[in-house]
Amino acid sequence: MSIYYIEDKNGDIFSTDGKRRFIRLSGKAAYEYLSIHRGKRFYKLTAEEDNEDSIFVEVPPSKVRKIRKGERRAQYVADIKKESGISEISLYAIQEGDFGGRFSGEEVIEDSETDVENEAIHRIQLEKLYQAIQTLTDDEKELVARLYSDKPMTVRELSKEWNVHYSTISRKHNVILKKLKKLLK
């Protein structure tokens, strides 16, 4: 059955904020009211069970746009979740044992600090860089290791250690960088 809550200043049902009054109509009374007042807008409250009544609440014209915007946003979020394959699990369902005690709940809580997409892209880039470095000669790998290790050396420090002119090391460094950039495109 459909139940309609119609705004009426003499209604005996109040809104949650107490500012609006409603009357409750159903059956023939609701049908007659709706056939006379065709321009009225109603918001359907979703029933949790199929066998429950459908409840409709009259919405003032000033609120229709805001409600529709909220509904479009909710639909957009639902579509994005569906496309992404993300599923939601109720923590209450976990507590009640609907999953056979296999979950504590912690393993399904989102880690908002981790951006999975950026992490995946970063790992792919690192793998490409590793493969590109493997194409370098042993001398080039050594130069890269010294300049980009946990305790990196400057080109000047490396030129002193290897007893080679600064410009020679700098030139080799630039050649290696160009080579790596070309391989990473």
Domain's final residue, options 44, 59, 74: 59
The stretches of 85-137 forming alpha helices (DSSP H) are: 91-95, 116-134
In a domain, 175, yes or no: yes
Determine the pLDDT at residue 24. Answer: 87
Tokens of 85: 């394959």
Range 88-94 average pLDDT:
62
Given this model, what pLDDT does residue 56 score? 77
**Residues 162 and 146 sit within 8 Å (Cβ to Cβ):** no
Residues 18-28, mean pLDDT to the nearest whole number: 84
* Residue 25: count of CB within 10 angstroms of its CB: 19
The domain boundary, picked from 29, 59, 89, lies at: 59
User: Would residue 91 count as lying in a domain?
Assistant: no
Selection from 178, 182, 173 nearest residue 146 by Cα:
173
The predicted structure's pLDDT at residue 94: 58
% of the chain beyond a pLDDT of 70? 81
Domain count, the chain: 2
How much is the pLDDT for 76? 86
Higher pLDDT, 41 or 173: 173
Average pLDDT, integer, range 99-110 = 57
Q: Specify the CATH number for the domain of residue 154.
A: 1.10.10.10
Q: Does residue 6 surpass a pLDDT of 70?
A: yes
| SS3 assignment, position 58 | strand
Q: Which of 59, 79, 103 is the last residue of a domain?
A: 59
Is residue 13 over pLDDT 90?
no
Burial class (CB in 10 A: 0-12, 13-18, 19+), 143: buried
Domain for residue 77, yes or no? Answer: no
Domain that holds residue 52: 2-59
Position with higher pLDDT, 4 vs 108: 4
Note whether residue 125 is domain-resident.
Answer: yes
| Residue at 66 is within a domain | no
Domain presence at residue 20: yes
Q: What is the pLDDT of residues 24-66, one digit of tens each?
A: 888 888 888 888 877 777 777 765 566 677 887 877 777 778 8
Q: What percent of the chain has pLDDT over 90?
A: 17
